[in-house]
Amino acid sequence: MSKITTDMIVPYLDVNKDKTFAKNDWVAIDLSTIFELGMNPETEEKKYISMKNPKSIVQSNAIAMDQEIEMESTNPMYSFIKNLFYKRPVGSECDIPALIKFEDNSGWRSIATIILGSMNTNDGIITFTINYNDVTEGTVAIAQDGTVTFTPSNS
C-alpha cells in the first residue's frame, strides 16, 4: 500500500483559454496550500411506502474546488490569475478549460467557471473557486518537456 501525496493529484488551468481543446496550454495550480475537491451533490428525498425513512437520491454533482495561488511574480499560474483578477471577467469570460490529473493518470477535463475571490497581500495569495461543468473523463499524459495532454475516454 502506498500513500497518495499532494503532488500526485494536480489541478490545471488552460492559460490559452482554448474552449475547443485544440491548443491547450495546461499550467498546474502549484503554489497553493489547499486542495479540497467537493462533489456538492444535489439530492432529492423520496419517501417510498416500503421504507420507514426517506431515501436520498443523488440527481447531479456540482463539482467545485476552492483554490488559491501564491503571489509569486515568476509563477505562470499567478500571472494568469492576476491577469484575470485585473480584468474582472464576467459571464462567459469566466469560463476557462480546467483539468485534474489523478494519481493513476486518469483525469477530468471541463470548461470550468472561475469565480475570483480576493487578493490578500498580507497572506500573499489570490483566492478563487473552480466550478467544473460537464466533466469529461479521460487520461492525462505529461511529456518529458512538461507538456500536458488529455485524451477523452470516448475517443
Instruction: Enter the C-alpha cell of residue 115.
Output: 469565480
Q: E strand or H helix at 139, and its extent?
A: strand 136-142
pTM: predicted TM-score of the whole model, two decimal places:
0.92
Rounded CA-CA distance 103/7 in Å is: 9
User: Count of CB atoms within 10 A of residue 90's CB?
Assistant: 7
Report residue 31 as a C-alpha cell: 503554489
pLDDT of res. 155? 56
pLDDT at 66 (0 to 100): 97
Q: What is the sign of the dihedral through the CA atoms of 38, 42, 47 and 51? A: negative
Along the 155 residues of the chain, how does pLDDT read in single tens digits?
Answer: 799 999 999 999 999 999 999 999 999 999 999 999 999 999 999 999 999 999 999 999 999 999 999 999 999 999 999 999 999 999 999 999 999 999 999 999 999 999 999 999 999 999 999 999 999 999 999 999 999 999 999 75
Name the residue type at position 150: F
Q: How many CB atoms neighbour CB 45 within 10 A?
A: 9
Confidence at residue 1, expressed as pLDDT on a 0 to 100 scale: 78
Cβ within 8 Å of residue 120, ≥6 positions away: 126, 127
For 65, phi and psi rounded to 5 degrees?
-145, 120
Domain ranges of the chain: 10-152
CA dist 137 and 143 (Å) reads: 20
pLDDT of residue 87: 97
| Residue among 112, 88, 94 at smallest CA distance from 37 | 112
